[in-house]
Amino acid sequence: MSAPDAVLARPVTAENFSRFGTTYNLTDDSDPKAIWTAGDGWRDGFTTAPLIEGSGHLGITRGGGGPWLCAAMERHLGTEEALFCASQPIVLAVAPASDAEAPHRDDLEAFVIAPGQVVVMHRGVWHDACRGVSGPAPYYWMAICGFGESPWVPVAGGPRLIKAANQEGLSA
């Protein structure tokens, strides 16, 4: 049974993610923000514009599996951040960009990002590390990295359960 306080992740679309950033769907050859090419035995697509503003760093995070308690988030005021799966769907928990010192648990939303989809979060959007829908899952990210103090802060109002539709219970 789903906890009443849980945030249920929904599949990411351009429409439902628009207040947090931009999406690309590089799997169906129809995203107008991509250029599509094909050859003998292959098809590809690439974004019409650079993925993020500036010269970003490419990284990989090895996220655990969901569901999970979202207890802390980070935001980047100086860069957009792009996220894309390595091979398995992932869940992204976000809260709107704000002037607040921390995101509030009541503002959390969650999205499932499938392989071939990319999300680019606007500057300042609060977010947690992603978790796999069906178990631990690595994913790639691109952002302009800086070094210094940890940007992670506790979620105001306390942690909140994040889960995808097919996840039951709470696992660590």
E-strand stretches of the chain: 7-11, 21-25, 34-39, 42-47, 57-63, 68-70, 72-73, 81-85, 90-95, 109-113, 117-121, 126-127, 131-132, 137-143, 153-154, 160-164
Q: How confident is the model over 13-72, as pLDDT tens digits?
A: 999 999 999 999 998 899 999 999 999 999 999 999 999 999 999 999 999 999 999 999
pLDDT at res. 135: 94
pLDDT at res. 147: 64
Closest CA to 90 of 55, 115, 56, 126: 115
Q: How confident is the model at residue 150 (pLDDT cuts 50, 70, 90)?
A: confident
Residue 93 has phi, psi (to 5 degrees) of -100, 130
Query: How many angstroms separate the CA atoms of 55 and 142, rounded?
Result: 9
pLDDT at res. 165: 80
Domains and CATH numbers, the chain: 7-164 (2.60.120.480)
Greater model confidence, 159 or 1: 159
pTM: 0.91
pLDDT at res. 146: 77
Q: How confident is the model over 71-113, as pLDDT tens digits?
A: 999 999 999 999 999 899 999 999 999 999 999 999 999 999 9
pLDDT at res. 151: 86
pLDDT at 171 over 50: no
